[in-house]
Structure 1
């Protein structure tokens, strides 16, 4: 079977976290420095943006058991027995632990340096948030994961592809001062080590209102511990503990069985690809996805399950009004060889994209900022601009119009389009 997918691509060399937050709330994601927005109607397997409200997350019985089993492995029964004698809990503390499951408390329960010593734990467990730099240690973990879990041939696993995929991020990394702490923003590697060995790593984009999961990998030696669940719960706990609130698990593909696990965490919300409103990802929507290839929930549902007032509002606000240094350079791509590349993106019927008339009524394309040979100017200064055909995707005006139609007019002041 030939599977066809289509997306709009852009190459970002420098991107603020505020702008990327707005982009993912319009159905974009990144792979390395490549930004892409799938065309849900033209894809065999539509990719929906989903996010989870960490403040309302309640882990399932299976998820709680997975975390408890791992903590017991790290701590060990010898420590449990001795600690009960050396550091006894009050009756109230013991009763509270039986009746309540505090996610943040349990997530950190077995971490090195957080338990009373002596006695010694069965194993040391440490989680660190590190820069997204390349190291041989990280690459060896990636190589093991890709070959054992994804069955990729060793010949296709290279340091170059690892760097490009998981180390090269266009996001600007910085800390934001607050009264009590500093929120980290940008791209990071969350590294998990048992007895000093790197056994798992999550690639994260920390945004003003999101912990966005880019990728997660683990070593085959810890396969039985359910590290996919452990990693997801730690990222959710991070979103709650540090005030990011939302956890973005990446695209959800309903027809892909390997992706179904993302729907096991609740409450989650799914982004309407037409209106960019968030809807509770409940059973009624999942049932619709069973029977319909592509949904625009605001158009196809006259009534829907009760929505969170915060989730129903448009994408979370946030961001700067300053000029962003993001750049783009690509166009619609399709695996179907019969696609006419000269057709402008706004004529493809792609959900959530401005039509030609909407674009011309809302945007003055002459004012778009471009960069040519390190010189920034307005698009209207280009030779031949006025005669350039907006209806041709192969013309400079058509290319710029397609990008603006895809990212939306409200972000026009925050981007610079780099022409080569």
Structure 2
């Protein structure tokens, strides 16, 4: 007997685990699968509501006593590089950009391993093998690209897995040569994606989550035109200290209320 997938996506919650951003806190995620003919519409819709993609899953933080993680995006029309960001652009002007289909390569994995070993040796991805890496890159039901940057000798220097949404570019995951700290490659890839979005006429670049109080995420607040998704809407980024209340236990809505407030795409026709 043939069974069809339910018309409405089903939402689930992960078990609590240690938060990677704020010491002493626990994280929990609300997630749904991304599959079927409506995957693109669902990804576009939920990305606008603070969700992120990981392979064929869409997720959003849903911690029981904290709402610090805020989805962040750059409004391309409002972005103006700072003096230090212009210097970063100039320092990396020699790198050549290539956008390809989402296909994992040995060079990518070699760079990925150097990046993790030097920058995130104690992170959740530290033990990722080549097969898991290939799945991260290749298992995508939507329009994705691998944006590679190489030096004049052809050496792979930086990589970003990027989703193309109906209203922007979503930087799913990026990694780069860890032995070039003065080039600020992580920030530079964001700057280059702003340029790619501008060239393509797309209004936003989605950066993932900004977490007030987390040194790992502090750099995102340095981009002009930044917006964060908070209390069900996108709003212009204010001073970081104004978001400290989001770590209070009463800042989080119950799961049922969160799911009820999610807007799903019209899948008719």
- Greater percentage in strand: 2
Counterpart Cα distance in 2 of 1:236 and 1:4: 33
Are the aligned partners of 1:199 and 1:222 in contact in 2 as well (CA < 8 Å)? Answer: no
1:207 maps to 2:158: no
In 2 relative to 1, CA 236–204 (structure 1 residues): closer, same or farther, beyond 3 Å?
same
Measured in 1, the distance between the counterparts of 2:190 and 2:112 equals 18
More helix by share: 1
TM-score computed with the length of structure 2 as normaliser: 0.80
Distance in structure 2 (CA, Å) of the matches to 1:352 and 1:49: 19
Give aligned pairs, total.
242
Alignment correspondent of 2:194: 236
User: Structure 2: 5+ residue runs without aligned partners?
Assistant: 1-22
Counterpart of 2:227 in 1: which secondary structure?
A: strand
Query: Aligned match of 2:247 in 285, 293, 314?
Result: 293
Confirm or deny that 1:188 pairs with 2:133.
no
The answer to whether the aligner puts 1:135 opposite 2:105 as a matched pair is yes
Superposed CA offset, 1:137-169 (max 9, x none): 111111111111112599813012212323311
Deviation, structure 1 residue 39:
1.2
2 CA distance for matches of 1:135 and 1:245? 31
Q: Which residue of 1 aligns with 2:41?
A: 18
Tell me which residue corresponds to 1:116: none
Compared CA separation, residues 166 and 351, structure 1 to 2 (3 A): farther
How does 1:103-182 map onto structure 2 within 5 Å?
A: 125-152=95-122, 156-171=127-142
Higher RCO (C-alpha under 8 Å, 6+ residues apart): 2
Distance 1:138 1:282, change over 3 A: same
Bigger Rg, which one: 1
Structure 1 pair 268–351 and aligned structure 2 pair: CA distance change class (3 A): farther
Do the aligned partners of residues 280 and 2 (structure 1) sit closer, same or farther apart at CA in structure 2, a change above 3 Å counting? Answer: closer
Alignment of 1:19-418 (within 5 A): 19-40=42-63, 42-44=64-66, 46-71=68-93, 74=94, 125-152=95-122, 156-171=127-142, 186-194=143-151, 195-273=153-231, 276-283=232-239, 286-293=240-247, 349-350=254-255, 353=258, 405=260, 407-408=262-263, 410-411=264-265, 413-414=266-267
Conservation of the 8 A alpha-carbon contact between 1:270 and 1:280: yes
Q: Residues 295 and 259 from structure 1, CA distance in 2 versus in 1: closer, same or farther, beyond 3 angstroms?
A: farther
Q: Structure 1 residue runs of 4+, over 6 Å off?
A: none
Contact 1:45 1:255 in 2 (8 A): no
Q: Could you tell me how far apart the structure 1 residues matched to 2:201 and 2:222 are?
A: 22
Q: Are the structure 2 counterparts of residues 37 and 291 from structure 1 closer, same or farther at C-alpha, using a change threshold of 3 Å? A: closer
Distance 1:155 1:16, change over 3 A: closer
- 1:253 & 1:18 partners in 2: Cα distance? 27
- TM-score, normalised on structure 1? 0.53
* 1:291 Cα deviation after fit: 4.3
Distance 2:256 2:115 in 1: 35
The one-character-per-residue Cα deviations of 1:225-276 (angstroms, maximum 9, x if unpaired) are 1101210100011111111110111111112111011111011111123xx2
Shift of residue 30 of structure 1?
1.3
Q: What secondary structure, in the 3-state scheme, does the structure 2 residue paired with 1:233 have?
A: helix
Contact in 1 for aligned 2:43/2:58 (Cα 8 Å): no
CA RMSD, 1 decimal: 2.7
Aligned counterpart, 1:118: none
Deviation at 1:352, TM superposition (A): 5.8
